[in-house]
Amino acid sequence: MNIDERVVAGIINAVLDRLDDVSNPCADAGGGNWGVFESMDDAVEAAAAAQKKYLNCTMHDRAAYVQAIRDVVLNQENLEYISRQSVEETEMGNYEHKLIKNRLAATKTPGIEDLTTDAMTGDDGLTLVEYSPFGVIGAITPTTNPTETIICNSIGMLAAGNSVVFSPHPRAKNVSLHLVRLINRALAEVGAPANLVVTVSKPSIENTNAMMNHPLVRMLVATGGPGIVKTVLSSGKKAIGAGAGNPPVVVDETANIEKAGKDIIDGCCFDNNLPCIAEKEVIVVDSAADYLIFNMKKNGAYEVKDPEIIDKIVKLVVQENGKSPVTSFVGKSAKYILEQVGVHVDEDVRVIIMQTNENHPFVQVELMMPILPIVRVPDVDAGIEMAVRVEHGNRHTAMMHSRNVDKLTKMAKLIQTTIFVKNGPSYAGIGVGGEGYTTFTIAGPTGEGLTSAKSFARRRRCVLVGGMDVR
Ligand code: NAD
């Protein structure tokens, strides 16, 4: 698309948003505006009414609704608009990579085929165990993947027969509301019950709390940091928690070092390191370290050696508590971060690297920006032990580059992460250049792992006594 078409697409989308704000002839009785409600109570009640109607729809209908969500996101104009708006509104991430992530969510999130039925037959008859909906799900979404999470949760939750109330991050409000409206229009066009996917016009912590406490919300799904995961797990409701990570990469002397250097940089710089799965620190055996660093630099890494500049960057991007990143630097580019400390580099610099020890804040803090510390270890066993420590028991994601099957197995067993990528970039773990489906809600703390439709469903048994077996 050239610049003029982009401007036109932006104006059309902005006008549609404005029209929605003012009046919408299809607005429902609860005051909904293509799924966007003034009050959380109205949003939840509308979603509950929609889910009741949804129970009478066929699996064929469900498949059509899921396809409508995929199609509306894959419409090139919409895809470009939500990707650009995500970057502009949150001031995080990279437009080209958002395009890839949104397209990935729309194409590779499983639909109704995920809901497999178990059957047991015998002298006493036929018993079925099926995945059936929870009802209304409350889904809390992060700033780092605002649209990707709404796409992926909408597909999975609707495939499983639920309706969903979204509580987006306030800093991603406009793009999240826009996407909810797009999804509602697309669902209306294929005849779905209104309000299967809803949200509120002013997302806030108060509204999130109201959603979590509403008696009609049967399940909570939180994709975010440790605070919100803890909150949903304390709610007394069925909850899925997809929380923080701090993914280490271990490289040993048996690895293909040229490939490891490239894979690590490709994974680390993806969407400016926003994905919770992205490489956050490298642990390398001493004998392979120099060649690995050489190959990282060959692939767009810029090494900062001056300890004073490293300290300046620490002060800039890590909060005084030493535990959290400074939000205004999350998802910023390597070039931007370096410029703030007076270092000017070319556009092709994708990641800032430096050699540190294990206790350095860049190793310990989940930064979510393209800053990648490198720690040397004497041997691979020491590296695996360090990786387990710096992952902080999140059990989220880890990577290893090695050709030693025993050591790959050892690390996989000890680190216990939901995703463990061997000899590839982190994003291979969510289906980009690696086998398998995708998700943007990776539930380590509650154990669902890479969530899909069946994660949002209840197992129910249906027993027919006598007959129906044909053996
Ligand atoms: P965040 O925790 O600040 O916000 C996440 C969501 O929770 C937002 O909608 C926010 O409004 C809400 N929220 C936060 N605290 C709340 C409270 N006390 N009461 C009510 N609502 C509250 O996280 P973020 O900065 O948007 O996202 C980054 C974090 O999310 C990182 O830690 C990252 O690893 C994690 N993450 C995890 C996954 C996963 O699949 N495991 C995916 C994406 C992001």
192 alpha carbon – ligand 1 mean position (Å): 30
pLDDT at 471: 80
Three-class HEC string of 214-230:
CCCEEEEEEECCHHHHH
Which atom from ligand 1 is nearest to the alpha carbon of 243? 41
CA atoms within 13 A on the CB side of 162: 34
pLDDT surpasses 80 at 99:
yes
pLDDT at residue 268 above 60?
A: yes
42: which 2 tokens? 């109205």
Q: Out of 176, 221, 276, give the residue to mutate to test ligand 1, the one with the largest number of ligand atoms within 8 Å of its CB.
A: 276
Could you give the 3-state DSSP secondary structure of residue 450?
Answer: strand
**Is 242 in contact with 394 (CB distance < 8 Å)?**
no
How far apart, in whole angstroms, are the C-alpha atoms of residue 77 and residue 84?
11
CA angle 227, 229, 392 (to 5 degrees): 80
Pair 266, 423: CB distance under 8 Å: no
Q: Which atom of ligand 1 is nearest to the CA of 396?
A: 41
* Residue among 51, 32, 242, 35 nearest 136 (CA): 51
To the nearest whole number, what is the mean pLDDT of the chain? 94
Q: With a cut of 90, say whether residue 23 has pLDDT above it.
A: no
Q: Please, which pLDDT band fits residue 29 given cuts at 50, 70 and 90?
A: very low
Instruction: Quote the ligand 1 centre to 145 CA distance (angstroms).
Output: 10
Residue nearest to atom 16 of ligand 1 (CA): 228
How far is CA 415 from its chain centroid? Answer: 21
Higher local confidence (pLDDT), 15 or 379: 379
Cα 149 → chain centroid? 5
What ligand 1 atom has the least distance to the C-alpha of 205?
20
Check whether 13 has a pLDDT greater than 60.
no
Give distance in angstroms: CA of 437 to centre of ligand 1. 23
Q: How far is ligand 1, taken at its centre, from the CA of residue 141, in Å?
A: 7
Half-sphere exposure of 164 (CA within 13 A, CB side): 29
- Residue 157 CA to residue 247 CA, distance in Å, equals 27
Domains of the chain with CATH codes: 3-243+450-461 (3.40.605.10), 248-436 (3.40.309.10)
If you compute the radius of gyration of the chain from its CA atoms, what whole number of angstroms results?
Answer: 23
- Which residues does ligand 1 sit against, CB inside 6 Å? 140-145, 167-170, 205, 208-209, 223-225, 227-228, 231, 242-245, 276, 366, 440-442
**Which residue in the block uniquely carries the two structure tokens 């975010």?**
224
Nearest to 412 by CA among 426, 395, 437, 427: 395
Atom in ligand 1 nearest the alpha carbon of residue 277: 34
* ipTM of the complex in this document: 0.96
Three-state SS at 239? strand
Report how far ligand 1's centroid is from the alpha carbon of 272 (Å). 17
- Which atom in ligand 1 lies closest to the alpha carbon of residue 142? 26
C-alpha of residue 175 to centroid of ligand 1, in Å? 16
Give the pLDDT confidence of 180-233 residue by residue, as tens digits: 999 999 999 999 999 999 999 999 999 999 999 999 999 999 999 999 999 999
Amino acid 470: pLDDT: 81
Q: For position 21, what pLDDT does the model report?
A: 44
Q: Which two tokens stand for residue 52?
A: 């009741």
Q: For ligand 1, atom 11, which residue shows the shortest CA distance?
A: 169
> Which atom from ligand 1 is nearest to the alpha carbon of 167?
9
Q: Looking at ligand 1, which residue's alpha carbon is closest to its atom 24?
A: 142
pLDDT at residue 469, rounded to an integer: 79
pLDDT score of 163 = 98
Can you tell me whether residue 167 is helix, strand or coil? strand
Interstrand relation of 281-285 and 371-377 (parallel, antiparallel or unpaired): parallel
Q: What is the DSSP letter of 400?
A: E
pLDDT value at residue 468: 80
Identify the pLDDT of residue 467.
Answer: 80
Q: Give the count of beta carbons closer than 10 Å to the beta carbon of residue 378.
A: 10
CA–CA separation, 315 and 281 (whole Å): 18
Per-residue tokens: 295: 């190959």
Average pLDDT of 8-14?
55
User: Pocket of ligand 1, candidates 92, 150, 169: which has the most ligand atoms within 8 Å of its Cβ, to mutate?
Assistant: 169
How far, in whole angstroms, is CA 302 from its chain's centroid?
A: 27
pLDDT category of residue 24 using cuts at 50, 70 and 90: very low
Q: pLDDT band for position 9 (50/70/90)?
A: low
Tokens of 207: 């509204």
Residue 222: predicted pLDDT: 98
Question: What percent of the chain is modeled with pLDDT above 70?
Answer: 93
For ligand 1, atom 41, name the residue with the nearest CA.
Answer: 242
Average pLDDT over residues 288-297: 98
C-alpha torsion sign, points 329, 149, 421, 412:
positive
pLDDT at 72 > cutoff 70: yes
Ligand 1, pocket-test mutation among 89, 104, 143, 177, most atoms within 8 A of CB? 143
Type of residue found at 443: A
Query: Residue 352: CB partners within 8 Å, gap ≥ 6?
Result: 301, 302, 304, 313, 334, 337, 338, 370, 371, 372
